[in-house]
Structure 1
Amino acid sequence: MDIVKKLNELDKELELVKPSLKLNVPNIFSILKIEDYEIRHSNFLKWLLDPNENHKLDQRFLKPFLKHVFASDKICWTSEFDFKNCDLFKVNVYREWRNIDILIEHPEFVIAIENKQLSGEHSDQLRRYRETISTHYPNCKHAFVFLTPDGREVIDEIDAEHYVSISYDEIRSNLEKIINTYSGSLLPKVVNYLKDYVKIIKQDIMKNDPVVKLAQKIYHNHRAALDFINEHKPDGLTYVAEMVENIIVEKGHVLGSKNVGFVRFLTKNLQDIIPRNVSGWNEKEAFLFEIDFRNLFGEKNRSVRFRSAVSNRNNEISQKIIESVSTLSGCKDSGGKKWISLYGKSFLSNIDESNIDVEVVRELVLRILGGVDIHLNQVEEKLLEIL
């Protein structure tokens, strides 16, 4: 079977299963990329475990979590501990205290939680945490938790005697009980957070959500087509360029010479009068408006730059354009020889390369065009006068 036929079959099946995949259902944790970071999971768990936080869960998440920990035969002091009458509102919960992921501190006990999703425990890491707790809390009862996707035991035999293994399925179970029992009395946004986090646990940590199973089945049935797509998928800049070009044309402008990281265009009225005999751009235009998005996915200060640009200062027509447009408000000759910028304006961007949203790109392009609309009209009027 050739690849075209395989791609067509994949396309047909995706149309049938698209509603089941729930690809367009928003999830706050997917938006924030929390599913890929242990640190962010720990931040959210810390929030859930603290009964004094603004979620208003009180002890509803903390109490069953502690019950599960204290039920372990690795905790030898629970028989002498009056958990029923313990005031859990005296709890303080800390992140990254002495490198410990989560620390639950109470006047009577301290619990250190090590959150491991992908990486294993480092050499002597868990022992050092035990020693740290013993040193800083000599008069408190101690417990240690090893939180993993599957609830696996600690590898080191000595550490394994002290660490209670808990799986993320236990976290999921506790959250679902809270959702089912207390949804009516909790803030709606808190309930949504809990539901979204349960989905993330099922899909990205436990890998047992029906959507994951369906995706795995599709991949098994169409592996060749999906591998071909992955191998030939456009990079982020190419993908964005196509979307930007479509919006530019939709707004009545005419596309100009192309380069990676740039979209260039002219207004419809300038299309027929701009000379195309100047060395520089592929189509030899003397003048173009351009959107430069090479820094769209930069590590910091992500932005897009709009310019009015001229090619090749040594050309007579180019020089005429430079002199004329430079008289407009906000315009000046950048001094370049091959490429001359006469006007520039930057626009900040929050587009994520790993999840490029058409609507976010559209909003950015419309913001750019709206921000330079007066300039476009002024340049058009000036060039219509001199060319």
Structure 2
Amino acid sequence: MKNFTYRSFEEKENIETILKRRKRKLNRQQILSGCILGVILVTLALYIGHHLYYTELDGYVHVDANKVRTPFDIYLDSVYVHTGDFVEPGDTLYSYYMLDMLVDNANPNEEPAMIAVGRNYTLQHTIAVQEIEVMKVRIEELRKQILAEDHNISFGLSDNSHKLDLQRQLREAEAKLRALQGELDALRRSQPEARVLYGGNSRFRNDSTLVPQIYDDARSAYMRRAISYRLASDSSLITDVKAPVHMIFFKEEEILSKQHLNLEANNLKVVAYVPINKMHRINNNSRAEVVVNDDVKFTASVSVLGTRTEMIPENLRSYFSKKNTAVIAILTLDPGQTVPLWSLASGISVTVRVKNYNAEKQDCGKPDYLWFTTGRGTSADSIRSPQETTLMQQSSKTSTENDTTPRDSI
């Protein structure tokens, strides 16, 4: 009776309410802990299942760049495109002058070869015109002599031999006249092709726009006829312009770079790093999913495997592995896919995801790997598909049977 405590009815109800609250709070905590534990277990299960079903390899996209270089020494006059411009075949990229032409034109002790060629054409043209005029006069005189000879023959003052000689000379003169006229026509047709684009030293020309400098000579109206143009050869997008105008560029220097719209013509491919311990996860029949980000993915197939190696970049190396060299796998994109152009930019990092269990590998008709035998090299059978090997064996067997079949003697 000493420990007996009297509680009123209200106190008993308060105690029951407190116990119920504590019980509900404990239940909520248990449910929350169970949900958190469930999420962790599901995430862990998905992670383990993903790595059991897929092998993920690091890689990058490779596209060859189209660098426009000058094939010889030039003086760049103007650039007609800017970064981001779209060009089609035949569009003008830039204009230029041959540097040798400007140097020769500014040298007072050297005459360009085209000057001499143009002078020779002019001289030959003038001589041909003069010879034609002489032959016309000679033909006219011969005709007059033939008429006089006809008059003498009619009166018996001369025989017919001198007339025949005059007629022969007339035919020769007419033939030579036709030859000279043909030569003159040929010279007239050829002279524009040998038109002198520039002439001599600029200091000897009456051109007030010229200044006594080699490269400023290109600004003259006289030299504008010698300008050349570089045209676009394919539909492409200008990615960078690296050349300031009115500057000298030597042979093979880069003027600008562009990206052809047909990326497959620029050797579009995906390069994947395959660690040595993961070589059993990929072969020549593997198809992969290339992941650029959460929104952009596309499929690709292995085209070349195991022909070269590369050092794995430092940011992709594992701290628990001592082998930093990886076998390179080259993958080509499957046809019929549409992806953003930026996702195929050269050098962009991607994740190559290969299925560990793929039933398609058995039906591709392509050898899994290439095999090398010492003393014999890489077997051709390991390069051919099993179907090709079977057909060749059947063909060889048939030809052997035909050779061993006895033939009737003739």
The normalised TM-score by structure 2 is 0.20
If asked which structure has higher relative contact order (CA below 8 Å, sep 6+), I would say 2
Higher strand share: 2
Higher radius of gyration, 1 or 2: 2
TM-score normalised by L of structure 1: 0.21
